[in-house]
């Protein structure tokens, strides 16, 4: 779904498990001899439908106002102050949200796993709740809240996009981040690690920071990457509440008949997001190999 | 637990505001009038119809092509580059690509888009034939672009759960490939496929980012109408109508989720 996890996040668990936990053991399959017609057909269709628009968009983004080709549209990320400030704003939000998500989620998951395993289904359910509320409805609620909010709340929360959007992006990121962190925590021997650390006199805080965190770093990194991707893409809430974040700015540029710039920025966003997730799957793979070796 | 407190404040309060606003009048009296009004305006009925039709066809198209593509990828060499790229790319397109996607399609199939111009050169004039990227069809095409990857993500685990032994057993017992598909593979996969398609439906129903970037508030689908009601203020009492529409959307999504859990229970019988 679009940038806000939406209902699709309901099925995201397996995908995230693979992204942060590494691929599952390969299943033995009969080798296919020659390429089959049905496979060739779908790969050809997919290539046209999925790669076609991207190539077209890339070509379009290179077209300059003068009619010649060049990278002027991409240069706007530096030279256009509106684009630059909105991108910085979005990055700030992304950074803050990804830290808050970890600070909230990691201790909760560890605590539930160690002390209250019975609460696991409840935790799962609660983290899925944001999915039930379409982003546009969440935005409508916030907008209504903003209109009727007392003055102190307006000046404290709603006056700046960083304070107004970050808390809610954290909520939106919850379904993804819970899955990611839970996958990581499940993969380690949490009981032994925590017991050892506590017996040696470490405080809970120290245990979390120096014992648990290094052991689940891929999962934590995964959760942060997913949150960053979400914050850089979320447009519905920001646009309805009239905050000028990066994606909102892209929409505005298009309405200003600067489609070329919007397309160029879109290509950068897509490439960046893909790189985030692709790097993550490599980290997971490497980590996967190492943890098994270490556990033996 | 700080986590519970956080969720109550930042998820509970907006949700409460929506439900409370939808159920009250400006003078804070309880009423169902807002809901009644959303059903009586023809424009809202049109929006609801459009939303359902859009979600239906994009989820079906996404399901068909998604399964097909997922099957082709799953039967390729496991752990290879194809798997990895498909996995990451599916994630990007299914979850994080709303706005960029809309602009890629505008650049390709817009009035002066690259593909439009190219097709015109070889004699196919899309826009003369009534196609428009801002129409329901154009938006739907764009939706399919994120529905197919979502289907791949949702259905791949089920496809991987089909054991090669089942096929070997069936073929060994004299079944043809076709009867293996008909009597083993399809019945085992069916609940997962139905469940995934339901999710695709709900996904399209609640999606707005792509449509917002592509067309804006003038598109007659429910999310755009909520946007319009909240920020446009064309109708009297518009924001409460917007909130009532919001509650109705949540209700539809809840129905979809209940359906999903029912079929998911059946899906677990054979897979895993």
Q: Which token pair is B119?
A: 């097709």
Is residue B156 situated within a structural domain?
yes
Candidate ranges A215-224, B4-13, B54-63; pick with highest mean pLDDT: B54-63
Q: What percent of chain A has pLDDT over 90?
A: 8
DSSP state of A67: S
The span from the CA of A160 to the CA of B117, in Å, is: 43
| Structural domain that includes position B212 | 46-219+253-267
> Does a structural domain hold residue B39?
no
pLDDT, tens digit (0-9, with 9 covering 90-100), for B124-182: 888 888 788 888 888 999 999 889 999 998 888 888 888 878 888 888 888 888 888 88
A53 interaction partners in chain B (CB closer than 8 Å) = 104-105, 107-109, 115, 145
Q: What value does the mean pLDDT take over residues A68-82?
A: 82
The verdict on residue B172 lying in a domain is: yes
Residues of A in contact with B204 (CB under 8 A): 1
pLDDT at residue A295, as a whole number: 43
Question: pTM (2 decimals)?
Answer: 0.87
Which residues of chain B does A61 touch, with a Cβ-Cβ cutoff of 8 Å? 107
Q: At A115, phi and psi to the nearest 5?
A: -105, -35
Which chain B positions have a beta carbon within 8 Å of A229's beta carbon? 92, 95-96
Q: Which of B2, B99, B257 sits opposite A233 (nearest CB)?
A: B99
pLDDT band at A3 (very low <50, low <70, confident <90, very high): very low
A92 pLDDT tier (thresholds 50, 70, 90) = very high
CB-CB under 8 Å, A171 with B94: no
Say whether pLDDT at A52 is over 60: yes
Q: Decide if B246 is inside a domain.
A: no
- Residue A294's pLDDT band (boundaries 50, 70, 90)? very low
- pLDDT score, position B58: 93
Do B93 and A43 meet the contact criterion of CB atoms below 8 Å apart? no
Residue B88 domain-assigned (yes or no): yes
Range in A133-142, A148-157, A196-205, B49-58 with the lowest mean pLDDT: A148-157
The fraction of chain B above a pLDDT of 70, given in percent, is: 96
> For A225-280, what is each residue's pLDDT tens digit?
889 988 988 888 998 888 889 999 988 888 877 888 888 888 888 899 888 888 88
A11 and B14: CB-CB below 8 Å?
Answer: no
How many inter-chain contacts (A to B, CB under 8 Å) are there? 320
* A148 and B243 Cβ atoms separated by less than 8 Å: no
Q: How confident is the model at residue A1 (pLDDT cuts 50, 70, 90)?
A: very low
Partner-chain contact A133 B250, CB within 8 Å: yes
pLDDT in tens, B81-129: 787 788 888 888 888 778 888 889 888 888 888 888 888 888 888 888 8
How confident is the model at residue A4, as a pLDDT?
45
Structure tokens at B85: 């790229």
Q: Which of A93-97, A237-241, B13-17, B233-237 shows the lowest mean pLDDT across its residues?
A: B233-237
Task: Establish if B229 belongs to a structural domain.
Answer: no
Q: What is the mean pLDDT of residues A102-114?
A: 90
Please state the domain count of chain B. 1
Output the domain CATH number for residue B53: 1.10.3720.10
Both tokens of residue A197? 């650390």
Residue B76 three-state SS? coil
Complex ipTM value = 0.85
Interface test with B, best of A140, A205, A265 (most B CBs within 10 A): A140
> Is the pLDDT at B206 greater than 50, yes or no?
yes
Identify whether the C-beta of residue A9 lies closer than 8 Å to the C-beta of residue B207: no
A142, A241 contact by CB (below 8 A): yes
Query: What is the pLDDT averaged over residues B240-250?
Result: 89
Give me chain A's average pLDDT, please.
81
Instruction: Kindly state whether residue B235 falls inside one of the protein's structural domains.
Output: no
Partner residue facing A27 (CB), from B78, B97, B250: B78
């Amino acid at each position: 779904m679009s940038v806000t996890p939406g209902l699709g996040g309901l099925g995201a668990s397996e995908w995230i498990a693979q992204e942060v936990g590494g691929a599952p053991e390969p299943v033995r399959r009969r080798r296919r001899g020659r390429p089959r017609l049905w496979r060739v057909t779908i790969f050809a269709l997919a290539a046209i439908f999925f790669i076609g628009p991207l190539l077209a968009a890339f070509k379009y983004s290179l077209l300059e106002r003068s009619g010649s080709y060049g990278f002027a549209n991409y240069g706007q990320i530096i030279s256009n102050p509106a684009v630059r400030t909105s991108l910085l704003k979005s990055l700030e939000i992304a950074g803050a949200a990804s830290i808050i998500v970890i600070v909230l989620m990691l201790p909760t998951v560890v605590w539930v796993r160690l002390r209250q395993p019975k609460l696991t289904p409840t935790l799962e359910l609660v983290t899925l709740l944001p999915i039930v509320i379409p982003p546009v409805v969440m935005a409508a609620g916030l907008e209504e809240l903003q209109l009727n909010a007392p003055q102190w709340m307006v000046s404290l929360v709603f006056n700046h996009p960083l304070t107004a959007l970050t808390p809610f992006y954290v909520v939106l990121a919850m379904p993804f981040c819970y899955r990611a962190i839970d996958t990581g925590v499940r993969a380690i021997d949490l009981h032994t690690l925590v017991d050892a650390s506590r017996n040696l006199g470490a405080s809970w805080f120290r245990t979390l920071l120096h014992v648990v965190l290094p052991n689940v770093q891929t999962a934590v990194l995964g959760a942060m990457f997913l949150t960053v991707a979400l914050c850089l893409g979320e447009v519905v809430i920001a646009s309805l509440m009239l905050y000028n974040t990066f994606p909102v700015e892209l929409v505005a540029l298009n309405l200003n008949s600067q489609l070329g710039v919007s397309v160029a920025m879109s290509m950068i966003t897509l490439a960046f997001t893909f790189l985030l997730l692709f790097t993550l799957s490599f980290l997971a793979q490497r980590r996967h190999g190492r943890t098994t070796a270490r556990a033996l | 637990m700080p986590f519970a407190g956080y969720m109550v404040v930042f998820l509970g309060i907006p949700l409460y505001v929506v439900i409370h606003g939808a159920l009250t009048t400006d003078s804070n009296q309880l009423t169902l009038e807002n809901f009644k009004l959303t059903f009586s305006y023809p424009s809202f009925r049109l929006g609801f119809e459009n939303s359902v039709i859009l979600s239906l066809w994009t989820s079906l198209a996404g399901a068909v092509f998604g399964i097909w593509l997922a099957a082709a990828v799953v039967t390729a060499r496991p752990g290879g580059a194809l798997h990895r790229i498909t996995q990451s790319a599916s994630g990007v397109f299914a979850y994080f690509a709303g706005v960029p996607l809309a602009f890629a399609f505008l650049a390709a199939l817009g009035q002066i888009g690259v593909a439009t111009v190219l097709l015109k050169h070889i004699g196919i004039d899309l826009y003369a034939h009534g196609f428009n990227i801002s129409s329901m069809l154009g938006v739907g095409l764009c939706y399919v672009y994120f529905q197919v990857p979502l289907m791949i993500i949702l259905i791949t685990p089920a496809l991987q759960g089909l054991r090669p032994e089942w096929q070997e057993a069936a073929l060994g017992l004299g079944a043809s490939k076709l009867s293996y598909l008909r009597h083993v593979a399809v019945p085992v996969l069916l609940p997962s496929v139905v469940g995934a398609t339901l999710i695709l439906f709900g996904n399209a129903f609640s999606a707005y980012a792509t449509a917002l970037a592509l067309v804006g508030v003038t598109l007659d689908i429910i999310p755009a109408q909520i946007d319009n009601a909240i920020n446009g203020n064309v109708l009297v009492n518009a924001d409460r109508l917007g909130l009532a529409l919001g509650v109705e959307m949540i209700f539809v999504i809840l129905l979809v989720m209940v359906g999903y859990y029912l079929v998911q229970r059946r899906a677990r019988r054979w897979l895993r």
